[in-house]
């Protein structure tokens, strides 16, 4: 049994296996439909945070592969409150073939995996977002037909999305520069982890507070919301700090002419990204969103079949 909790758990070869499976399943779907390789399988989906892409892509993914998905709302399950995480994991293991959890606390996710008798998939936690990172790299690979040697510039908050993104870039040989305000950088633990991986992969990993320096010669510019779910009390302060980190036409012009712009969505248009950029020919934000379906189907296929 294998879980999908964080990118760091997988080798570069294993990550490439997920990418090739995603392409295979996407091509198969476009050619007429996927084979029902998960017929009779059920995915239990625990949601503490609301979602459009995560819920729909996992439900549709299970449907395409012949299985079923069950949505479990915060009203039905309160991890660690109404019932212990260990009890929830063991009860659900008797009903379903896999568990996808979108949670606030990464510790709850790790505890689910510890006590579960079926694979657990991280649909998002406060620490990381591995499904998003796999989908992002799949989107980049589709566009450029390669990953190694490209440069990604992440501009914005040092949050859970860039945590997974930086790790997968380093593992697969993609240069990455992260530009954040000094008070909102990646954690020291993540920086050390990525630096070690970057040395092994012989790629450049840089941390800066300058968006213009970050996007220079970039093939990919990536951003996310300045205030994530659970940080609403910080909104006013963040709106004062982050405006210089907006992805706008002027900043994009400093990257390579063929550079693409990415955002994991939902976007706060007019804040971290302008409409002009989000709707431009360089934007691939909706291809990214679609590829959540295909990348997650690869995860489901390799973990549950």
Q: What structural domains and CATH numbers belong to the chain?
A: 7-129+292-304 (3.40.50.1370), 130-288 (3.40.50.1370)
What tens digit of pLDDT does each residue of 238-261 get?
999 999 999 999 999 999 999 999
pLDDT at residue 63 tops 90: yes
Q: Do the bridges between strand 220-223 and strand 205-208 make them parallel or antiparallel, or are there none, so unpaired?
A: unpaired
**Percentage, residues of the chain above pLDDT 70:** 100
- HEC letters along the chain: CCCECCHHHCCHHHHHHHHHHHHHHHHHHHCCCCCCCCCCCEEEEEECCCCCHHHHHHHHHHHHCCCEEEEECCCCCCECCCECHHHHHHHHHCCCCEEEEECCCHHHHHHHHHHCCCCEEEEECCCCCHHHHHHHHHHHHHHHCCCCCCEEEEECCCCHHHHHHHHHHHHHCCEEEEECCHHHCCCHHHHHHHHHHHHHHCCCEEEECCHHHHHCCCCEEEECCCCCCCCHHHHHHHHHHCHHHCECHHHHCCCCCCCEEEECCCCCECCCECHHHHCCCCECHHHHHHHHHHHHHHHHHHHHC
pLDDT of the residue at 123: 98
pLDDT band at 95 (very low <50, low <70, confident <90, very high): very high
pLDDT band at 98 (very low <50, low <70, confident <90, very high): very high
pLDDT at residue 228 tops 90: no
pLDDT of the residue at 145: 97
Average pLDDT over residues 45-65: 95
Average pLDDT over residues 289-301: 98
pLDDT of the residue at 209: 98
pLDDT of the residue at 74: 84
pLDDT at residue 1 tops 80: no
Average pLDDT, the chain: 96
pLDDT band at 78 (very low <50, low <70, confident <90, very high): confident
Average pLDDT over residues 84-88: 94
Average pLDDT over residues 145-172: 98
pLDDT band at 144 (very low <50, low <70, confident <90, very high): very high
CA atoms within 13 A on the CB side of 215: 27
What tens digit of pLDDT does each residue of 159-210 get?
999 999 999 999 999 999 999 999 999 999 999 999 999 999 999 999 999 9
pLDDT of the residue at 79: 77
- Sheet bearing 68-72, strands edge to edge: 68-72, 42-47, 98-102, 120-124
pLDDT of the residue at 82: 80
**Percentage, residues of the chain above pLDDT 90:** 93
Average pLDDT over residues 104-119: 96
Per-residue CA distances from 264 to 8, 74, 90, 125, 165 (Å) = 20, 23, 32, 15, 11
pLDDT at residue 229 tops 80: no
pLDDT of the residue at 52: 93
Burial (0-12, 13-18, 19+ Cβ within 10 Å), 206: middle
pLDDT of the residue at 76: 84
pLDDT of the residue at 166: 98
Tell me how far the alpha carbon of residue 31 is from its chain's centroid: 27
pLDDT band at 49 (very low <50, low <70, confident <90, very high): confident
Q: Which residues are catalytic?
A: 102, 129, 132, 224, 264, 292
């Amino acid at each position: 049994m294998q879980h999908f909790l964080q990118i760091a758990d997988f080798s570069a070869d294993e990550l490439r296996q997920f990418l090739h499976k995603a392409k295979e399943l996407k091509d198969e779907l476009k050619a007429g439909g996927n084979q029902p390789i998960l017929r009779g399988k059920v995915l239990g989906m625990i949601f503490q945070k609301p979602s459009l892409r995560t819920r729909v892509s996992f439900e549709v993914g299970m449907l395409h592969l012949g299985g079923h998905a069950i949505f479990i709302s915060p009203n039905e399950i309160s991890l660690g409150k109404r019932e212990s995480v260990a009890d929830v994991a063991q009860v659900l293991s008797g009903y379903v073939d896999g568990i996808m959890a979108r949670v606030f606390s990464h510790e709850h996710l790790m505890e689910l995996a510890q006590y579960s008798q079926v694979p657990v998939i991280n649909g998002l936690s406060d620490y990381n977002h591995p499904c998003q990172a796999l989908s992002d790299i799949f989107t980049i690979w589709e566009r450029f037909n390669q990953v190694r040697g490209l440069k990604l510039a992440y501009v914005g908050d040092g949050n859970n999305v860039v945590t997974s993104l930086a790790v997968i870039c380093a593992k697969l040989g993609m240069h990455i520069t992260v530009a954040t305000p000094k008070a909102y950088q990646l954690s020291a633990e993540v920086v050390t982890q990525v630096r070690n991986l970057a040395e092994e992969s012989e790629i450049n990993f840089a941390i800066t507070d300058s968006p213009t320096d970050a996007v220079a010669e970039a093939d990919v510019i990536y951003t996310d919301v300045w205030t994530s779910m659970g940080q609403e009390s910080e909104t006013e302060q963040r709106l004062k700090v982050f405006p210089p980190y907006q992805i706008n036409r002027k900043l994009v012009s400093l990257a390579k002419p063929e550079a693409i712009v990415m955002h994991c969505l939902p976007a706060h248009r007019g804040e971290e990204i302008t409409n002009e950029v989000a709707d431009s020919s360089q934007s691939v934000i909706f291809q990214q969103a679609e590829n959540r379906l295909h990348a997650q189907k690869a995860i489901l296929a390799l973990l549950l079949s």
